[in-house]
């Protein structure tokens, strides 16, 4: 059995028996067929070689599993819904997979103060439905909501579709419970809105990708569910026109603007081709760029009037050449399915090189156009979509029909794409995280002193390096990188 990292050892049959005594034999998986979904990421790009997945049912069980792994120097990969796109939730070699899926209880919802307390394994869509029945909404919405788990969302600081309205999880998470590498339980599961007593330790775990501790429960602030939601899709002939339209949206819609998404023609055509039931909402006009604008508020007639006035102004300016306003929930769902389904459509097409980046808004789409020109000799499809409201671009390079890695394509993209972003003071990861994909270019977004502090925190909280080894932090130059990509 292959070793996870030089300082860690592979689990043995004795370890399997010990874990079974903690979580029960049915929750210790060792069969190859059972382990396949734990070893392979959602995009089929990264593949590990774990021989063991453990499914704890409580924080106490997580603590006992980690205490054993810490004492025995066994690597551990915390895993939620395994919907990540940078290989952060799969083994790099033969580490133990710690799956949080059984820990899916909603512990409480306070409708007066507006907060939720739940375990880390709760699926995001289930939480959305649970709080909606009580007049609230989750501050997070993702295309993977049917599979992703809230603990993984927190560990990756997932952004999503309504970041513009509700901000990041750094603001929405009121309290956390997390287990450190040695099994110590940090119980910070308070729902207080204000607590000015020194270091805000929970922030260390938001976005840490399971490298500092395992999130087991959380308290989240819940916004009130809007009484009215209205959605428009607008088409433009250029990104510059789309950007001007976004400026009008910010001015015209202000307090009711809840989402501003964009996608290019390549993304729309791909979704229409690959996804059942998805159709071009503006079939008579083949626009270069599209923009989804959502408003939500407490007065339906007021909000609808504001959206209509905005659309009229945008079309009168000439920047918007076509558009539609959803007339009911079914039409809104169809428009969101188009936007949210692009990643799924890409996954059905072939090998996808995905880059989740942030850049100044004025320069955002330049990267797509320059990538498209650069990849033309390779016959690759290049699409761009993302969150216009927060400057987050999802750049995708796809080689249709081929899931095998293409060395020439990869060499044409990297490290060029990361250097391009660094030269413009952007971020190499806007919301997907670093995972196993980007530690070697972390220095392009973080200065050496910052990376030094990150290493110091890792040594303090996980001195033996058992938690998610090979992820986020760049390894020492001499350290072997044992992970492989799917072929």
Percentage of the chain beyond pLDDT 90 is 87
Per-residue pLDDT tens over the stretch 324-382: 999 999 999 999 999 999 999 998 888 889 999 999 999 999 999 999 999 999 999 99
Inform me whether the pLDDT recorded for 55 exceeds 60. yes
CB atoms < 10 A from the CB of 67, how many?
Answer: 17
User: Rounded mean pLDDT of 51-60?
Assistant: 98
Q: Which residue has the higher pLDDT, 477 or 275?
A: 275
Contact 296, 223 (CB under 8 A): no
The number of beta carbons lying within 10 Å of the beta carbon of residue 134 is: 13
Query: Tell me, what's the pLDDT at 401?
Result: 67
Q: Lowest-confidence range among 237-251, 352-366, 388-402, 472-486?
A: 472-486
Outline which parts of the chain fall under CATH 3.30.465.10.
106-221
For position 7, what pLDDT does the model report? 79
Query: Distance of alpha carbon 362 from its chain centroid, rounded?
Result: 24
Tell me the C-alpha to C-alpha distance, in Å, between residue 336 and each of 260, 292, 294, 332, 356.
12, 8, 10, 6, 20
Residue 1 has pLDDT above 50, yes or no: no
Mean of the per-residue pLDDT values of the chain: 93
Write out the residue limits of the CATH 3.30.70.2190 domain(s) in the chain: 228-335
CATH architecture of 106-221: 2-Layer Sandwich (3.30)
Q: In what order do the strands lie in the sheet with 28-29?
A: 28-29, 53-54, 96-99, 76-79
pLDDT of residue 2: 39
According to DSSP, the residues that pair with 85 across neighbouring strands are: none
Please say if the pLDDT value at position 72 is more than 50.
yes
Q: 407: Cβ–Cβ under 8 A, 6 or more apart, which residues?
A: none
CATH number belonging to domain 228-335: 3.30.70.2190
pLDDT at 403: 57
Question: 463 in the Ramachandran plot: left (φ > 0), alpha (ψ -120 to 50) or beta?
Answer: alpha
**CA end-to-end distance (rounded Å), the chain:** 20
In the prediction, which pLDDT does 143 show? 84
Q: Report the pLDDT value the prediction gives residue 112, as an integer from 0 to 100.
A: 93
pLDDT at 478: 46
- pLDDT at 188 exceeding the cut of 80: yes
Q: Report which secondary-structure segment, H or E, holds 33.
A: helix 32-39
Per-residue confidence at 487, pLDDT binned at 50, 70, 90? Answer: very low
Where are the domain boundaries for CATH 3.30.70.2740 in the chain? 349-432
Mean pLDDT of 127-154: 95
Give the residue with greater pLDDT, 41 vs 370.
370
- 0.85 cut: is pTM over it? yes
Burial of 37 (C-beta count, 10 Å sphere; 0-12/13-18/19+)? middle
Task: State yes or no: pLDDT of 6 exceeds 80.
Answer: no
Give yes or no for residue 443 having a pLDDT over 60.
yes
Task: Measure the CA–CA gap between 289 and 185, rounded to whole angstroms.
Answer: 49
Distance CA 76, CA 213 (A): 11
Question: What CATH topology corresponds to 349-432?
Answer: Alpha-Beta Plaits (3.30.70)
């Amino acid at each position: 059995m292959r070793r996870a990292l030089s300082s860690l050892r592979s689990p043995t049959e004795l370890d399997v028996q010990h874990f079974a005594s903690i979580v029960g034999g049915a929750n210790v998986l060792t069969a190859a067929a059972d382990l396949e979904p734990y070893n392979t990421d959602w995009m089929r790009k990264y593949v590990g070689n774990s021989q063991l997945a453990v499914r704890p049912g409580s924080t106490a069980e997580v603590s006992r599993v980690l205490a054993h792994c810490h004492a025995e120097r066994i690597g551990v990969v915390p895993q939620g819904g395994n919907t990540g796109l940078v290989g952060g939730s799969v083994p790099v070699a033969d580490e133990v997979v710690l799956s949080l899926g059984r820990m899916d209880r909603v512990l409480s919802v306070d409708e007066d103060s507006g907060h939720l307390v739940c375990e880390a394994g709760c699926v995001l869509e289930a939480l959305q439905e649970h709080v909606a029945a009580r007049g609230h909404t989750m501050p997070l919405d993702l295309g993977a909501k049917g599979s992703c788990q809230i603990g993984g969302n927190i560990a990756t600081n997932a952004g999503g579709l309504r970041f513009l309205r509700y901000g990041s999880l750094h603001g929405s998470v009121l309290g956390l419970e997390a287990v450190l590498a040695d099994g110590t339980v940090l119980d910070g599961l308070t729902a207080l809105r204000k607590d000015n007593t020194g270091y805000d330790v929970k922030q260390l775990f938001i976005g840490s990708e399971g490298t500092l501790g395992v999130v087991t429960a959380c308290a989240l602030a819940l916004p009130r569910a809007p009484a009215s939601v209205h959605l428009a899709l607008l088409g433009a002939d250029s990104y510059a026109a789309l950007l001007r339209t976004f400026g009008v949206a910010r001015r015209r819609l202000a307090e009711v603007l809840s989402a501003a998404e964009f996608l290019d023609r390549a993304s729309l055509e791909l979704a229409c081709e690959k996804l059942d039931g998805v159709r071009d909402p503006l079939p008579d006009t083949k626009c270069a760029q599209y923009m989804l604008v959502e408003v939500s508020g407490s007065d339906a007639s007021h909000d609808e009037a504001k959206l209509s006035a905005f659309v009229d102004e945008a079309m009168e300016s000439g920047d918007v050449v076509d558009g539609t306003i959803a007339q009911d929930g079914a039409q809104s769902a169809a428009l969101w399915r188009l936007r949210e389904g692009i990643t799924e459509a890409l996954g059905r097409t072939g090998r996808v090189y995905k880059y989740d980046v942030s850049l100044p808004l004025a320069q955002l789409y330049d990267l797509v156009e320059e990538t498209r020109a650069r990849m033309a000799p390779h016959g690759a499809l290049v699409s761009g979509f993302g969150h216009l409201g927060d400057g987050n671009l999802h750049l995708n390079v796809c080689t249709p029909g081929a899931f095998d890695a293409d060395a020439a394509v990869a060499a044409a993209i990297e490290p060029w794409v990361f250097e391009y972003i660094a030269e413009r003071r952007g971020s190499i990861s806007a919301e997907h995280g670093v995972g196993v994909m980007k530690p070697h270019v972390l220095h392009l977004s973080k200065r050496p002193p910052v990376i030094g502090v990150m290493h110091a925190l890792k040594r303090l909280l996980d001195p033996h390096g058992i938690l998610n080894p090979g992820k986020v932090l760049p390894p020492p130059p001499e350290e072997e990188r044992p992970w492989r990509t799917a072929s």
